[in-house]
A and B are shown apart, each in its own frame.
Chain A
Amino acid sequence: MVNRSEPPSAARSSLSSLMDGDLAPSAAAEACSAWRQDGDARASWHAYHLIGDVLRSDDLAVSPVHDVAFLQALRQRLSDEPVPLAPAPWVQAPLPQAEVRVAHAVGARRRGAGWLVAPAAVAAGFVAVAGVLVVTRSGAPDVGASSAPIAQAASSTAVPDALVRDAGLDRYLAAHRSLASGAVAAGAAEQRMHIVFEAK
């Protein structure tokens, strides 16, 4: 029968529920924190999974000495690896209610000729703007206790809003992304956009 001499730890109980998919997403953060700080939690995470594996197949009954050695060897190798940072998902800014006007003040103003709608010019303008803009993405990763070097190629995406951003430019870029992906057509009708060129 169950030995109840040891009161069940809340952390171990949470790990048990988490591995069965019974906890809120925030529980993953708590479990990772427990894994980081608590050797007992690490041993329990291993023991619970080992029990499940053995119940499904005796083939998976492996000495924990082997499992510990495996993880320690892997940790050693991981410590030499750059941390692979994936960029956080792009969160699209809400489209402005006001129309987006792009003033193009090059050359003679030709209002009399009407508005010139030139998608190629829009794209070219965007390229010029994007060329001088570094878009940072929010959501700095919690690298936890890891001391491994950050991959140089990915590190620029991990800097949390280190650059001063221009709100108007952000709105323009968000609008452009929507236009480029066709999201405007699928979006709300009230968020109609006018790309306007003012040329002399």
Chain B
Amino acid sequence: MTTDDVDALLVERAKRGDTRAFEMLVVKYQRRIERLIARMVRDVDLVQDIAQESFIRAYRAMPQFRGDSAFYTWLYRIAVNTAKKALVDLKRDPLVTESARAGANDDEDETSRVERELTDGETPEAVLASKEIAQTVNAAIEALSEDLRQAITLREIEGLSYEEIAELMNCPIGTVRSRIFRAREAIAQRLRPLLDTRDGTRW
């Protein structure tokens, strides 16, 4: 089973009305979708609105998703179309702001990096929090033992399967599974002070 297969399993459940399975997909892809939309629309409030609308449209269209492409590819198209429609609507709207329209012709290649300058509506606190998250994850990776760091790096950055990692690291698959889980737990532990939301809201 691949990660695409995992998506397919969650999609199948969502198609049968399990909204929790859909939420799991949202949590998985929300950051990538927002980054994609942020390349097209620079107003941070609009980015969130369009991302929300994209997921709602995906939810409504879920019964029509046949799995011909990966779920993220399908979701990506929905997000791009939703953003384009929002931009067209903005051009018709007399209250449209130039800043909100800027970036409409940006490259849609989702692998390109986003400029880390402040977009409209993005607060310095939010930027600081993002940097803190990134620094904490990178510091936690450095603090891992060599085995754990190698296992999670091969998985998350190189995208290798457990079988491939087991072959590379010359160990059983069960060991790979354990190392990756322990690495995630160790990093999550370091992140916990940052992950606990200040206003007490819970997942």
Tell me the residues in window 47-61 of chain B with beta carbons closer than 8 Å to chain A beta carbons. 48, 51-52, 55-56, 59-61
Q: Interface range on chain A: under 10, 10 to 19, 20 to 34, or 35 or more?
A: 35 or more
Residues of A close to B101: CB separation below 8 A: none
Are B51's CB and A148's CB within 8 A? no
Would you call the interface of chain B mostly helix, strand, loop, or mixed? helix
Contacts A20-B180, A78-B56, A86-B63 given; indicate if A52 touches B18 (C-beta within 8 A): no
- Could you tell me if B184 and A16 are in contact, using CB atoms closer than 8 angstroms? yes
Taking CB atoms and an 8 Å cut-off, the chain A residues in 19-53 that contact chain B are 19-25, 28-29, 31-32, 35-36, 39, 42-53
1/0 contact string of B152-163 vs chain A (CB within 8 Å)? 110111000110
Give Cα A49–Cα B24 distance, bound, in whole angstroms: 10
Give the chain B neighbours of A20 by CB distance below 8 A: 3, 155, 161-162, 180
Are A67 and B18 neighbours in the complex by a CB distance under 8 Å?
no
* Interface residues in B, total, Cβ within 8 A: 82
Contact present for A13 and B20 (CB under 8 Å):
no
In the complex with contacts A28-B21, A67-B31, A50-B63 CB distance below 8 A = no
Question: Which of chain B's residues 181-202 have a Cβ closer than 8 Å to chain A?
Answer: 181-189, 191, 194-199, 201-202
Q: Are A2 and B130 in contact (CB under 8 A)?
A: no
- 26 example contacts (A-B, Cβ-Cβ < 8 A) are as follows A8-B182, A16-B180, A16-B184, A20-B161, A21-B161, A22-B173, A25-B5, A28-B21, A32-B18, A35-B23, A49-B27, A53-B32, A55-B141, A55-B152, A59-B114, A60-B32, A65-B201, A70-B26, A74-B56, A78-B59, A83-B17, A84-B63, A88-B16, A141-B16, A144-B19, A146-B20
Task: Give B residues with C-beta under 8 Å from A.
Answer: 1-6, 9-10, 13, 15-24, 26-28, 30-32, 34-35, 48, 51-52, 55-56, 59-63, 113-114, 116, 126, 129-131, 133-134, 137-138, 141, 143-145, 148, 152-153, 155-157, 161-162, 173, 177, 180-189, 191, 194-199, 201-203
